[in-house]
Amino acid sequence: MRLLISPKSIEEAKVVVQQKYVDYIDCKNPIEGSLGANFPWIIKKMKSLISPSSSQLLSATIGDFPNLPGSASLAALGAAVSGADIIKIGLKESTTEEDCIYLMKSVVKAVKNYNENIKIVVAGYADRIRMNTSPDFLLLPKIAAKSGADIVMLDTFIKDRKGLFDFLSVEQLKLFKNKAKKLNLEVALAGYLMKDSLPMVKKIMPDIIGVRSIVCEGYDRYNGIIRGHLIEELRAELYA
């Protein structure tokens, strides 16, 4: 499993970059949502913190998107131009499979025409029952594959200390992973993954685990600051 950590500021990004076993620095703005987008200049600055000789990659979220393919593709291209190696988009309001695929094809085309090496992440929400406007989690791998995306991800939309496993079981997530793998997709899991979640994550063994709260002071994704010792504690638990 590779580790993705989501700093919201340059100060936090400096802490994350120093932890060499963190694989992805994920530029995010929690105030704007689960996959809230940060500013282009913040993405550029975070990218500059990563040494050219480092294996670390910069990912960037572009938002929890309504069914606006033009806006989504333009936002994705903005993240690409700003230096993101991986671009994540949440399917917030595209409810039909056709709408989701069209939106994601637009994003993939915009980014891959600019740089075919940039990876695209299709993200859905484990707590969609609280939204009623997002595709079923088992549709996500098909949407990702048909649109030409590279990674499929599950997160939670509402950030109220309810996590991934409050909405989906280990068996359901294994099924999600298996569907994705049959379509040659990488799998990422996130959504308030705390220490008590890690044994269940290990049973699933996604390619990528994404976190923020667990490495913030007070486990507070909004007001807490990412701390190096909390990243080290997570690493010890995750890879024990």
pLDDT confidence bin for 23, thresholds 50/70/90: very high
- DSSP annotation string for 60-91: EEEEEE-S-HHHHHHHHHHHHHHT-SEEEEEE
pLDDT confidence bin for 133, thresholds 50/70/90: confident
| For residues 208-224, average pLDDT | 95
pLDDT confidence bin for 93, thresholds 50/70/90: confident
Query: What pLDDT score does 101 carry?
Result: 98
| For residues 163-189, average pLDDT | 98
**Packing angle, helices 97-114 and 69-82, rounded to 10:** 30
Question: 217 pLDDT exceeds 90?
Answer: yes
- Which residues does the annotation mark as catalytic? 28, 88
pLDDT confidence bin for 56, thresholds 50/70/90: very high
Query: What pLDDT score does 61 carry?
Result: 98
Q: Which of 125-134, 151-160, 172-181 has the lowest mean pLDDT?
A: 125-134
Question: 132 pLDDT exceeds 80?
Answer: no
Residue 219, φ and ψ in degrees, nearest 5:
55, 35
Angstrom distance (rounded) from CA 157 to CA 11: 25
Q: Identify whether the C-beta of residue 210 lies closer than 8 Å to the C-beta of residue 155.
A: yes
pLDDT confidence bin for 73, thresholds 50/70/90: very high
| For residues 77-96, average pLDDT | 95
Angstrom distance (rounded) from CA 193 to CA 62: 21
Query: What pLDDT score does 99 carry?
Result: 96
Angstrom distance (rounded) from CA 120 to CA 30: 20
Residue entry with tokens 């990912």: 59
Percentage of residues in the chain having pLDDT higher than 90: 95
Query: What pLDDT score does 193 carry?
Result: 96
| For residues 127-150, average pLDDT | 94
pTM of the model: 0.96
- For the chain, what is the mean pLDDT? 96
Structure tokens of 168? 């989906």
Closest residue by Cα to residue 229 from 16, 4, 56:
16
CATH code where residue 212 lies: 3.20.20.70
Total tally of structural domains belonging to the chain: 1
Cα 111 to the center of its chain, rounded Å:
17
Q: Which domain holds residue 32?
A: 2-238
Q: Identify whether the C-beta of residue 124 lies closer than 8 Å to the C-beta of residue 153.
A: yes
Sign of the four-CA dihedral 84, 118, 106, 207: negative
Question: 95 pLDDT exceeds 80?
Answer: no
Q: Identify whether the C-beta of residue 91 lies closer than 8 Å to the C-beta of residue 122.
A: yes
Question: 230 pLDDT exceeds 90?
Answer: yes
Angstrom distance (rounded) from CA 14 to CA 68: 34
Sign of the four-CA dihedral 33, 37, 42, 48: positive
Q: Identify whether the C-beta of residue 192 lies closer than 8 Å to the C-beta of residue 213.
A: yes
Neighbours of 96 (CB within 10 A): 11
